[in-house]
């Protein structure tokens, strides 16, 4: 297909067609996701999601989960 694109929409459509043909639909989506800019300010917003958690809190939670996993493994064997 040697159609000369005349505007940005056509260039985008042709590019997606080529990516789907060469990569397949799943790989095309994964490829395009690399270039998404996103919205918002992650550095500021993450504090709303995680609160005032410390590294010690994270370590304690990981140790606790590991102990529970070991106990569950013993009970299942």
* Distance from chain centroid for Cα 4: 34
Query: Does residue 60 belong to any structural domain of this protein?
Result: yes
Domain of residue 68 covers 51-76
The residue-averaged pLDDT of 6-24 equals 94
The model's pTM is 0.43
Q: With pLDDT > 70 as the criterion, what percentage of the chain qualifies? A: 95
Query: Does residue 66 belong to any structural domain of this protein?
Result: yes
Q: What is the pLDDT of residue 24?
A: 95
**Element spanning 1, H or E:** none
The residue-averaged pLDDT of 39-58 equals 86
Query: Does residue 72 belong to any structural domain of this protein?
Result: yes
Give me the number of domains the chain comprises: 1
């Amino acid at each position: 297909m040697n159609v000369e694109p005349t505007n940005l929409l056509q260039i985008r459509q042709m590019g997606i067609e080529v990516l789907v043909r060469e990569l397949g639909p799943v790989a095309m989506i994964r490829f395009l996701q690399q270039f998404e800019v996103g919205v918002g300010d992650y550095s500021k917003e993450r504090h709303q999601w995680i609160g005032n958690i410390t590294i010690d809190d994270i370590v304690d939670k990981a140790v606790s989960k590991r102990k529970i996993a070991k106990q569950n493994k013993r009970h299942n064997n």
